[in-house]
């Protein structure tokens, strides 16, 4: 779907359209007083917290804690809290449980934990949870120190101490090194900072969390490019005024994600440059996150957008292949798709160095020729030193009539086809000998060669296996209790559909089967096949259907009927 709307006035859109509004977000602002020491000691003496929403206080919490140690005199002078105050107070574990119950981080509101210098307060809270076997709820955390550094200029405040900021924002309560007073002062600072970023166009939680300075006016004026984009998962593509692709991305909510590029939340320099060039955004709605990721790969491979660095050059994928000539040898090839069936290959390798290591491993186990020349019946070349070392039977020497080279090629081909155990055994014996001789560097080289070969053989075996199957249908339960159901044909994504929670998925499987195209294009990008393999083998995927005569062993669950997915 393509969008090319005319510009709209700047005031018509705000970032509030793309995320959880700050006015509807619950914040739990906390402050701790301690007996000194490290967070691991969990020596908390007082907890104070204020719960606020929409600028209004909706609850307060305060309790002394028995830290389990004597409170040092210098701490008592600073906070006014002495051993007398904590006599009869709950221990730290009980106090932290009370605080977590007050905060109610597991509620549907999804409260955000706020602290001034959060590593200190959160560090003590987490340590107390560990010490007293309390589950830490992992709430989102905001640090008003960090926010102040990003929002306030140096000529506005001399430092980011709580007392300085509370005075700057005219807080009604001054910090006193007592937990509740300091929490109340932090509330005023938080509200003051939120008001400042609101003037810069930030009105949602995501924008506040990622704020890194004001967005340029030029970027903000391009928010109209998100007009009409769907609030659904899928792929988006930015284009410039000459219809050249600039950037491809994915999101669970296309409109929300595209809108974020025009706000202060987007801080990447190259993305700022991209947005300033953008004149149009196209959207491609996808049924599932996996489909979106795969379509992103395909579109990047097809369009080669300027600002996509990842996956922009899939042809750099490296393989080790057997050359197609009378006396074959090993060579490196680079391509983004599987080598054709006429070329025996292993890979893909993560880089050329790993591929070279694998080649050395095969040469160490076979007498396959290592020269680069093409040998014909008329070839007559002086044999190299490998012949003298009895590591090559030198087919070059006799004009291509050497007997026995076919058997050598057969051994090497067997290794490339997946039978590398003999090579690994031989290399492991070599490694042990080198270790006994204390030649550790040589042992490490042999180890790296063995691992590179095993990795290449394993990866190519998995690729060959999945690409040999005409049809695989598999399902995985999604975050809302429904099922993401996908069909794959010879290692290529063919179709996807979502079965809602609590609904019999069988009709959706049948609908998916009817939607599978009959003209699926090959070859397939290796990066796509490996994404599919990762999804199939993640331990949560269930096979629903597979072509007759084929098996697939990666999913942790056995093959199931579509009707068995409900409640599974």
Angstrom distance (rounded) from CA 469 to CA 547:
7
Instruction: Tell me if 433 sits within 8 A of 442, measured CB to CB.
Output: no
Angstrom distance (rounded) from CA 560 to CA 534:
20
Backbone torsions φ then ψ of 94, nearest 5 degrees: -65, -40
What count of Cα atoms within 13 Å lies in the side-chain half-sphere of residue 51? Answer: 17
Supply the pLDDT for residue 13.
35
DSSP code string of 527-552: HHHHHHHHHHTSSSEEEEEE-TT---
Supply the pLDDT for residue 524.
80
**Is the dihedral angle over the CA atoms 508, 512, 514, 515 positive or is it negative?**
positive
The angle formed by the CA atoms of residues 173, 117 and 179, to the nearest 5 degrees, is 40
Residue 483 neighbours by CB under 8 Å, 6+ apart: 475, 476, 477, 498, 499, 505, 508, 565
Domain spanning 2-12+211-312: which superfamily?
Answer: GIY-YIG endonuclease (3.40.1440.10)
Angstrom distance (rounded) from CA 395 to CA 377:
10
Angstrom distance (rounded) from CA 17 to CA 173:
34
Smallest Cα–Cα separation from 272: which of 292, 247, 236? 247
In the three-class reduction of DSSP (H, G, I as helix; E, B as strand; rest coil), residue 333 is classed as: strand
Supply the pLDDT for residue 335.
84
Supply the pLDDT for residue 447.
92
Which pair of tokens denotes residue 142? Answer: 């905001």
Q: Where are the domains of the chain?
A: 2-12+211-312, 22-198, 316-462, 468-564
Note the pTM of the prediction, 2 decimals: 0.60
Smallest Cα–Cα separation from 67: which of 98, 36, 29? 36
Its CATH architecture, for the domain 22-198, is: 2-Layer Sandwich (3.30)
The per-residue pLDDT for range 283-319, each reduced to its tens digit, is 999 999 999 999 999 999 889 898 887 655 656 689 9
Given the structure tokens 């050598």, which residue do they identify?
A: 408
Supply the pLDDT for residue 246.
93
Estimate the crossing angle of helix 289-303 against helix 526-536, to 10 degrees. Answer: 170
Q: CB burial class (10 A; 0-12, 13-18, 19+) of residue 2?
A: exposed
Task: Name the CA dihedral angle for 229, 234, 240, 246, rounded to a multiple of 10 degrees.
Answer: 160
Supply the pLDDT for residue 559.
46
Per-residue pLDDT of the chain (568 residues; tens, 9 = 90+): 334 333 333 333 333 344 678 989 999 999 999 998 888 888 999 999 999 999 999 999 999 999 989 999 989 988 899 999 999 999 999 999 999 999 999 877 779 999 999 999 999 999 999 999 999 999 999 999 999 998 888 888 999 999 999 999 999 999 999 999 999 999 999 999 999 888 766 788 877 877 766 656 667 778 889 999 999 999 999 999 899 999 999 999 999 899 888 876 666 777 888 888 899 999 999 999 999 999 999 999 889 898 887 655 656 689 999 988 888 899 998 888 888 777 788 989 988 899 999 999 999 888 888 887 777 665 556 667 777 677 787 777 755 455 688 888 898 888 888 888 888 888 898 899 989 999 999 999 999 999 999 999 999 988 988 988 999 999 999 888 999 999 999 999 999 999 999 999 999 999 999 988 877 666 688 889 999 999 998 888 999 999 988 887 654 444 445 445 544 4
| Mean of per-residue pLDDT scores for the chain | 85
Supply the pLDDT for residue 217.
63
Q: CB burial class (10 A; 0-12, 13-18, 19+) of residue 390?
A: exposed
Q: Cα–Cα distances in Å, from 187 out to 90, 172, 324, 427?
A: 26, 10, 73, 65
Report the run of H or E that residue 102 belongs to, with start and end: helix 92-103
Smallest Cα–Cα separation from 568: which of 501, 486, 495, 511? 501
Angstrom distance (rounded) from CA 421 to CA 283:
48
3-state SS of 16-72 is: HHCCCEHHHCEEEEEEEEECCCCHHHCCEEEEEEEEEECCEEEEEEEEECECCCCCC
Domains 2-12+211-312 and 22-198 share a fold: no
Angstrom distance (rounded) from CA 308 to CA 553:
35
3-state SS of 113-181 is: EEECCHHHHHHHHHHHHHHCCCCCCCCCEEEHHHHHHHHCCCCCCCCCCHHHHHHHCCCCCCCCCCHHH
Q: Cα–Cα distances in Å, from 525 out to 315, 478, 547?
A: 9, 26, 22
Q: CB burial class (10 A; 0-12, 13-18, 19+) of residue 373?
A: exposed
Given the structure tokens 């098996």, which residue do they identify?
A: 551
């Amino acid at each position: 779907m393509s969008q090319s709307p005319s510009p709209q006035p700047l005031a018509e859109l705000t970032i509030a359209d793309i995320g959880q509004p700050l006015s509807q977000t619950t914040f739990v602002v906390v402050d701790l007083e301690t007996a000194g020491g490290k967070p691991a000691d969990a020596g908390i003496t007082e907890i104070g917290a204020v719960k606020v929403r929409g600028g209004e206080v909706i609850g307060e919490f305060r309790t002394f804690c028995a830290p389990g140690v004597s409170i040092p005199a210098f701490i008592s002078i600073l906070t006014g809290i002495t051993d007398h105050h904590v006599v009869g107070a709950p221990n730290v574990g009980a106090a932290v449980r009370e605080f977590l119950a007050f905060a109610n981080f597991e509620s549907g509101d999804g409260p955000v934990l706020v602290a001034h210098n959060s590593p200190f307060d959160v560090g003590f809270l987490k340590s107390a949870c560990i010490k007293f076997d309390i589950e830490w709820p992992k709430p989102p955390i905001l640090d008003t120190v960090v926010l102040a550094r990003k929002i306030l200029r140096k000529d506005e405040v001399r430092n980011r101490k709580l007392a300085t900021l509370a005075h700057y924002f005219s807080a009604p309560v001054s910090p006193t090194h007592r937990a509740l007073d300091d929490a109340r002062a932090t509330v005023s600072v938080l509200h003051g900072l939120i008001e400042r970023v609101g003037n810069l166009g930030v009105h949602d939680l995501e924008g506040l969390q990622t704020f890194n300075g004001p967005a340029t006016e030029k970027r903000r004026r391009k928010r109209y490019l998100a007009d009409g984009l769907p609030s659904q998962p899928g792929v988006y593509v930015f284009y410039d005024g000459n219809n050249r692709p600039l950037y491809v991305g994915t999101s669970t909510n296309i409109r929300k994600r595209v809108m974020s590029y025009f706000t202060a939340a987007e801080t990447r320099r190259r993305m700022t440059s991209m947005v300033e060039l953008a004149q149009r955004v196209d959207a491609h709605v996808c049924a599932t996150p996996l489909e979106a990721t795969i379509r992103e790969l395909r579109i990047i491979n097809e369009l080669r957008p300027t600002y996509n660095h990842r996956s922009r050059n899939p042809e750099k994928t490296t393989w080790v292949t057997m050359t197609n000539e009378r006396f074959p040898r090993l060579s490196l090839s680079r391509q983004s798709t599987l080598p054709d069936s006429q070329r025996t290959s292993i890979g893909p390798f993560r880089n050329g160095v790993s591929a070279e290591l694998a080649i050395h491993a095969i040469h160490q186990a076979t007498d396959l020729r290592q020269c680069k020349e093409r040998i014909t019946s008329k070839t007559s070349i002086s044999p190299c030193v490998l012949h003298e070392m009895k590591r090559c039977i030198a087919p070059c020497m006799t004009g291509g009539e050497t007997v026995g080279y076919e058997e050598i090629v057969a051994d090497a081909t067997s290794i490339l086809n997946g039978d590398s155990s003999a090579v690994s055994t031989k290399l492991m014996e070599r490694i042990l000998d080198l270790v006994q001789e204390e030649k550790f560097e040589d042992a490490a080289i042999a180890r790296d060669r063995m691992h590179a070969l095993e990795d290449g053989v394993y990866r190519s075996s998995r690729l060959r296996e999945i690409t040999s199957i005409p049809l695989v249908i598999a399902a995985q339960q999604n975050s809302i209790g429904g099922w993401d159901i996908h069909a794959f044909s010879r290692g290529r994504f063919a179709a996807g559909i979502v079965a809602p929670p609590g609904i019999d998925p069988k009709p959706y499987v049948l609908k998916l089967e009817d939607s599978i195209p009959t003209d699926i294009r090959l070859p397939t990008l290796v990066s796509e096949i490996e994404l599919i393999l990762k999804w199939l083998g993640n331990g949560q995927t269930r096979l629903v259907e597979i072509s007759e005569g084929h098996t697939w062993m990666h999913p942790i669950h056995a093959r199931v009927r579509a009707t068995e997915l409900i409640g599974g």
